[in-house]
Amino acid sequence: MADPVVPAVRVAWRGDTCQDGVRSVPRETPVALTYNRTTHAVMLATPSDLEDFAIGFSRSEGLIETAADILALDIVEVADGIECRMDLAPDRLAALTRRQRRLAGPSGCGLCGLDSLAAAIRPAPAVLRGRAFSAAMIQDAMRAMPAAQVLNATTHAVHAAAFWTPERGLIALREDVGRHNALDKLAGALARAAVRADDGLVLLSSRVSVEMVQKAATLGAAVIVAVSAPTSLAIEVANAAGLTLVGIARDDGFEVFTHLNRITVRTTRHVA
């Protein structure tokens, strides 16, 4: 499989000096997700952890319920990119046929190809469980991310999605040029390891848009923590689903936008 990191010749200006050199950049490749030899989606993604990507995408799209619903999975390099070739169990294939759609997904978009406005803002699955976390736990979890972001340390150009629990620390982290792809890869990694997503924190190195909430809720996550802010629609959908949404998670603190009951903070509350 192609290396996810590519050397790029560049000229750098710093102050009054100019220097030739090479910078490592992330590879961006068309990745087709096919089911029983029919292409369902083509995404632009980083060619790493593609088994996780295929399983996680299938799970977050509602095409499968568990990894066992995929009877066979092969990652195949072809002339124009990479194919994730999957064979589905008969009942899941029938469900796919009933709701077949095609989408072409640029790295910054997770909703291309939807055929209605209603599909774009579909309700997220209700979050029925989820434990409480202290402020210190949230900060510990976010501090654990940078050391595991190997691709970003090299390229400074990819997103990460991770899963953390107080007992085990950082269980899995996946990276991609697309933030949606990184979350799908994480979903696949957790599905393959049979890890319950409602038992820990889903961590994001990006902003939280509505499709990230939808994907996390489908995964079964109860708490999302992101370094950036959520969008208004992400807040609305997370609130309706019962999902705790934490943003602006930095060294000096964080902001909770929905369902504060899962976050235990001992401090004096001031209303601005």
Torsion of CA 143, 146, 148, 154, to 10 degrees: -170
Catalytic choice (18, 84, 109, 112): 109
Which residue blocks in 61-209 are alpha helix, DSSP H?
A: 90-98, 117-120, 135-148, 150-155, 179-192
Backbone angle region of 267, left / alpha / beta, with phi > 0 → left and psi within -120 to 50 → alpha: beta
What is the signed CA dihedral for 226, 150, 180, 73, rounded to 10 degrees? -140
Catalytic residue status for 18: no
Spell out the residues 6+ positions from residue 34 whose beta carbon is closer than 8 angstroms to its own.
40, 83, 84, 85, 86
Instruction: Name the residues annotated as catalytic.
Output: 109
